[in-house]
Amino acid sequence: MAKPGIIIVKAGREKSLERRHPWLFSGAIDEQRSNLEGVEPGGIVEVRGIDGGFLGRGYYNPHSQIRVRILSWDQTEALGPGWWRIRIARAIASRGALVKRPDLDAYRLVHAESDGLPGLIVDRYGDYLVIQALTLGVEVVKQHIVEALVDLMQPRGIFERSDVDARHKEGLSDAVGLLYGEEPPTPLVITEQGVHYPVDVHTGHKTGFYLDQRDARAWLLAHPEVQGAEVLNCFSYTGSFTACAALNGAASITAVDSSQPALDMTAQTMQLNGLSDYPVELICADVFKQLREFRDEEREFDLIILDPPKFAQSAKHLDRATFGYKDINMMALDRLRPGGTLLTFSCSGLVGPDLFQKVVFGASIDAGVEAQIVGWFSQPADHPVLLAFPEGHYLKGLAIRVLGQG
Ligand code: SAH
């Protein structure tokens, strides 16, 4: 048996760790040879191969299928509080280009595994930070993380939004509340690409705002297709796409979302940008049903946006998810005038870009339209993807132009 705190990986199961993938699953552990004596859940363990060779060191959770998340591949590196500070500083430094932009004060500072900080999300919203501790290993060092963030960023307040399903898989309950400084106001107003948005960090989705859709907002702010267009914004949330399209001269916008509180915030989004008098039609409805209603009314649009929530939560939902994506894309393509544009997204990591493109193609066949891809979207640079961790890539989108009836 190994020394206390050492996990031995079964023969052949060390390959992914050798390729620096940071997850060690329960089934890959040789329980007989490992020694977890005295290791607290969330504590640090060393992972070794069957030959005793060092593979990595990380935090351990006996309640999670992902037993260990590797923090360091360097045997000489100590993993105390100072380690977290150094890694967080590295992640912040890599956002240098964003930090310097005067037109923007909201972005992701730490993107978990892809920043070498498994289980930790940190978003900046103006003077405040919002964090998510997705794992037990992060939960036990949360106070050190807060201290490091205060030191590195001098925020006015740090708020925690650890109310995510991922925590339940780690044996943790939700944790929401102020961790440091002043309570963030509701709404907190952020600026991105010169546009102002109200954000409710207490109850909004994710940490309050879809920071990952910055490139789509840039497209809407800049592209001539938007000017004079009748726009349908499906899954509109608090109206970030609505404001961008309005600022770029859309003739009218219809926004559909199933959440009345999200739709209610659209008025604030418009007001903050001098768009109080802009004609937005807000419809609280299920997009699947509403698109059929538009078909029955023979209502058509020049630009349709589909930015649904994650349909594929796990591999067993993949079939149903692709069916859902195909359905809304088919219905949307059917509602576009010839020459019109569809902006369509998927944030399901399990639906890769190739599959997504195939689904949209299938939708075009069913809608009986000929269409071409005129733009590609992904998550922006503050949501990086570590090459060793392709799971970090989740957001993909296409700009599709409808040529006519196929
Ligand atoms: N594009 C948005 C973000 C979309 S998030 C932005 O600019 O910020 C997804 C949204 O879909 C959420 O607001 C959620 O309330 C809504 N939603 C989820 N399922 C829905 C459904 N079936 N019909 C309508 N809206 C739905």
pLDDT digits (tens, 9 = 90+) for 12-49: 999 999 999 999 999 999 999 999 999 999 999 999 99
Q: How far apart are CA 367 and CA 383, in angstroms?
A: 34
Whether 80 has a pLDDT exceeding 80, the answer reads yes
d(CA 61, ligand 1 centre) in Å: 33
The phi, psi pair for 145, rounded to 5°, reads: -65, -45
Whether 330 has a pLDDT exceeding 70, the answer reads yes
Q: Which residues contact 116 (CB under 8 A, 6 or more apart)?
A: 71, 87, 90, 91, 386
pLDDT digits (tens, 9 = 90+) for 115-171: 999 999 999 999 999 999 999 999 999 999 999 999 999 999 999 999 999 999 999
Q: Which atom of ligand 1 is nearest to the CA of 239?
A: 7
d(CA 240, ligand 1 centre) in Å: 12
Mean pLDDT of 50-55: 96
Whether 368 has a pLDDT exceeding 60, the answer reads yes
pLDDT of residue 43: 97
Mean pLDDT of 284-304: 98
Mean pLDDT of 272-294: 97
In short, whether 193's Cβ falls inside 6 Å of ligand 1 is no
d(CA 237, ligand 1 centre) in Å: 5
Active site residue 347: yes
Share of the chain above pLDDT 70, in %: 99
pLDDT digits (tens, 9 = 90+) for 331-362: 999 999 999 999 999 999 999 999 999 999 99
Q: How far apart are CA 18 and CA 23, in angstroms?
A: 11
Q: Can you read off the two tokens belonging to residue 260?
A: 């009345």
d(CA 44, ligand 1 centre) in Å: 39
Please list the residues that pair with 345 across neighbouring strands. Answer: 397
Angle value at C-alpha 372, between 368 and 376, nearest 5 degrees: 130
Mean pLDDT across the chain, nearest whole number? 97
| Residue that has been written with the tokens 């008025």 in this structure | 267
In short, whether 313's Cβ falls inside 6 Å of ligand 1 is no
Whether 77 has a pLDDT exceeding 60, the answer reads yes
Asked whether 207 and 161 are in contact (CB, 8 A), the reply is yes
Share of the chain above pLDDT 90, in %: 96
φ/ψ region of 329 (left if φ > 0, alpha if ψ in -120 to 50, else beta) reads: alpha
Whether 243 has a pLDDT exceeding 80, the answer reads yes
How many residues appear in the chain? Answer: 406
Residue 304's pLDDT band, with cuts at 50, 70 and 90, is very high
In short, whether 258's Cβ falls inside 6 Å of ligand 1 is yes
Alpha carbon nearest to ligand 1 atom 15, residue? 259
pLDDT of residue 405: 63
pLDDT of residue 2: 83
Whether 406 has a pLDDT exceeding 60, the answer reads no
In short, whether 389's Cβ falls inside 6 Å of ligand 1 is no
d(CA 395, ligand 1 centre) in Å: 15
Residue 89's pLDDT band, with cuts at 50, 70 and 90, is very high
| Beta strand extents in 102-251 (DSSP E only) | 106-111, 120-125, 128-133, 157-162, 175-181, 188-192, 195-199, 230-234
Characterize the bridge pairing of strands 369-378 and 396-405: antiparallel
pLDDT of residue 3: 85
Q: Is the pTM of this model over 0.85?
A: yes
In short, whether 309's Cβ falls inside 6 Å of ligand 1 is yes
SS (H, E, C) 115-131: HCCCCEEEEEECCEEEE
Residue 381 DSSP symbol: T
Indicate which residue of 234, 244, 284, 347 is catalytic. Answer: 347
In short, whether 287's Cβ falls inside 6 Å of ligand 1 is yes
Mean pLDDT of 241-256: 98
Pocket test for ligand 1, best of 240, 256, 257, 265 (most atoms within 8 A of CB): 257
In short, whether 115's Cβ falls inside 6 Å of ligand 1 is no
Pocket test for ligand 1, best of 237, 254, 310, 343 (most atoms within 8 A of CB): 237
pLDDT of residue 316: 92
Mean pLDDT of 216-226: 97
pLDDT of residue 158: 98
